[in-house]
Amino acid sequence: MEMQTLIRRVRGEYLEMPGLSLTLAQACRLWQIDSHSCEAALDSLVAEHFLGRSRDGAYILVGTPRMAKAGTRRRSTTAVA
């Protein structure tokens, strides 16, 4: 499969299912492609900031709640009189 065709296919799947979270192995099985091609397509979409990596290494759509970093809370400031 041509790389640009694969990238369009992957992008379409993530747009249809915004909560999709796949490891490299899962993505290879889903799209029935070899790991080298799959990783190249996924990494291309990461480079475009379309996909990101979760803490457990899964590829997810950028902007999903799973991308949020643990422990990022607003600090409250109180004035001392």
pTM to 2 decimals? 0.76
Q: Which pLDDT does position 18 carry in this prediction?
A: 87
Per-residue pLDDT of the chain (81 residues; tens, 9 = 90+): 799 999 999 999 999 998 999 999 999 999 999 999 999 999 999 999 999 999 999 999 998 666 554 333 334 444 444
CATH topology for 3-66?
Arc Repressor Mutant, subunit A (1.10.10)
- Residue-wise DSSP of the chain: --HHHHHHHHHHHHHH-TT-EE-HHHHHHHHT--HHHHHHHHHHHHHTTSEEE-TTS-EEETTSGGGSPTT--PPP-----
Domains of the chain, residue spans: 3-66
